[in-house]
Structure 1
Amino acid sequence: MNYYDRIQKSIEFIEDNLDTYIEIEDAADSAKMCSTEYLRFFYAVTGLTVQDYIGKRKITFAVEDIKKDRSDANKLASKYFFSSTEAFSMVFRTNTGYLPSEFLDQNIHYSFPKIDVRDKYYDEQDPMLLARFPDIRLLKHIPKMRMASYTSYGNEPENDACEIIMEYALENNLLCKYCSFRIFGFTVPDSIKSDGTYGYTVCITVGDEHIFKDGPVKELIIEKGQYVVATTTVSNIVETWERFKEWLRLSGYLHGSHQYLEEHLLCSRWREKEPFNDIEINLYMPVKNKKSKE
């Protein structure tokens, strides 16, 4: 299950439990992510923190209750498991602009719809192709990304490149709890040598305001492009590329000229006890429509 599907699964979990107290750890478990990875990736793909999303959805249903039977704040705070009436009222006012007791008199409408990550990111795909390759999803165009990048060479250059990037990210406050950073990597084209060494680039997204200084970490621009994505492990990358090739053969798409990408949840996993070959990644193959002029 790719990272987008995992976030959507967690959204379904949240939607099923809006009338309970939702533990972040439980939502993360439903996405098969640790809490740190989950909080960051949820924000990266939805533009909202998990807590903000939960609050907006609970207030949406609370508004319906107020309109239906004029439920008061005490009852609604209890029904939707807020820590107190005051906490509920504060979240209510933050989202609607009014206290619960004031809302009906304003003659306004408030509703925050359920997020569908798949609708936001997935492009239309042939049903027969999807049935044959359920793990491969065609994405809409990914916008241009500005990156801080570092390239290392060696037998396992991923580790060194990751270490440099994570140090840089810490020094530049790129890893804050609710930052929407994403971590990508790729093997340097034509870098594999007969002795098994090769080059690998690790990069982390940065905003337009980020200023690069002299040093080993350089700016990298990943241009806008369309991809197909699948989740795989390091040991199964070659097998997944073969499935991509078969997908291409049967689809209306060609291999694109833009950069292929591997997306990682957190680089730190490369330094932990998890066997390197078992680490999961999202693998992105660049594609272009056969009808495209590009």
Structure 2
Amino acid sequence: MEWLERMNRVLDYIEDHLEEKMDYKKIAQIACCSEYHFSRMFSSIIGISLSEYIRRRRLTLAAFEIQKSNHRITDIAMKYGYDSVDSFTRAFKKTHGLTPTAAREKGTSLKAFPKISFQISIKGDTEMEYRIENVDFELRIVGKGKTVKTSRAFKTIPTLWSTARKDGLMDKLIDMSWENPKCMLESLLGVCGKEAAITDEHFTYFMGVRYDGESPEDLETLIIPKSTWAVFPNIPEAWKRLYSEWVPTSGYELADLPCIECYYPPKHKPGHELWVPIIPKK
């Protein structure tokens, strides 16, 4: 399938450039999605971050080269992207449990992390719950946007919500959202950028709620046009299975709008949902 072909082209690209500075924007372009979304998708499906996978592959090849050749440790470190022998030694020891010099001794046991490949997993015992929501009006979302570095978004966003809880923004949004519910999107909303294709080094992560009243002076307003959404309970599980199981076989593709993470009030079932903008596949 087209999705699998794109993902495996990404892995081929990574493998061909392990001895160079990795171009994360190029990786996202090959995958036909934003840098942020691909990084998130990869982490959800594989269980480790994209950067960690690349690090492990480089250290695997470095270990092979150390054992098979007489090349200097310094040259091998530089070849696989390390600025100094010290930083290479720390990373190597963390992965393999011993120093590069010790790895040259005969009979030494090392760890190899092979190249992965994407495949569709056909499972009959685990269904994937979802529903289709047609929102035939503009979504007016009021809140605050924060600038996020794309490559660190996966770690930065939880910190933004933690800060919002401490500085009172979260309570203010809750009061605006839940006192007068108007639609299924009545929850705390995390909107990633303004378009699906986040190709810049930074983007705006918008924390807000759907609100039709007069916007407070200290908050911003974001308008999302009417669209059709695939809605999945359990955000972490949804991210993990969305690209590998649902999208390839659904007959839909992602629309050029941001995904929205919805965090509902206490005792709401489910507690959170992922809203994914979709259009019929051409």
Aligned with residue 167 of structure 1, among 180, 185, 189: 189
Inter-partner Cα distance in structure 2 for 1:282 and 1:141:
25
Structure 1, unaligned stretches of length 5 or more? 123-138, 171-196, 209-221, 232-239, 241-261, 271-278, 284-294
Inter-partner Cα distance in structure 2 for 1:38 and 1:140:
24
Query: 1:154, 1:198 within 8 Å by CA — same for their partners in 2?
Result: yes
Q: Give the TM-score, by structure 2 length.
A: 0.51
Greater RCO (CA < 8 Å, at least 6 residues apart): 2
SS in 1 for 2:189: helix
Query: 2:66, 2:73 within 8 Å by CA — same for their partners in 1?
Result: no
Amino acid at match of 2:16: D
1:52 to partner: Cα distance: 1.0
Query: 2:11, 2:116 within 8 Å by CA — same for their partners in 1?
Result: yes
- What residue is the counterpart of 2:248 in the other structure? 229
User: Over the residues paired in the alignment, what is the CA RMSD in angstroms?
Assistant: 4.3
1:101 to partner: Cα distance: 1.4
Q: Deviations over 1:257-284 (max 9, x none)?
A: xxxxx675896169xxxxxxxx76697x
1:53 to partner: Cα distance: 0.9
SS in 2 for 1:90: helix
Query: 1:92, 1:98 within 8 Å by CA — same for their partners in 2?
Result: yes
In structure 2, do the counterparts of structure 1 residues 83 and 282 end up closer, same or farther at CA, with 3 Å as the change threshold?
A: farther
1:46 to partner: Cα distance: 1.8
Q: How many residues align?
A: 184
Inter-partner Cα distance in structure 1 for 2:36 and 2:139:
21
1:162 to partner: Cα distance: 8.9
Q: Give the TM-score, by structure 1 length.
A: 0.49
Inter-partner Cα distance in structure 1 for 2:135 and 2:255:
23
Q: What does 1:182-197 align with in structure 2 at a 5 Å threshold?
A: none
SS in 1 for 2:116: coil
Between 73-82 and 34-43, the greater mean CA deviation after superposition? 73-82
Say whether residues 1:114 and 2:115 are aligned partners.
yes
Q: What does 1:196-235 align with in structure 2 at a 5 Å threshold?
A: 202-206=231-235, 229-230=248-249
1:202 to partner: Cα distance: 2.0
Structure 2, unaligned stretches of length 5 or more? 142-182, 193-225, 261-276
- What residue is the counterpart of 1:58 in the other structure? 58
Query: 1:77, 1:85 within 8 Å by CA — same for their partners in 2?
Result: yes
Q: Deviations over 1:84-137 (max 9, x none)?
A: 33332222112111121122336203211110112xx25xxxxxxxxxxxxxxx
Query: 2:228, 2:278 within 8 Å by CA — same for their partners in 1?
Result: no
Q: Deviations over 1:43-73 (max 9, x none)?
A: 1222221111111111111111111124333
Inter-partner Cα distance in structure 2 for 1:267 and 1:166:
18
Amino acid at match of 1:114: K
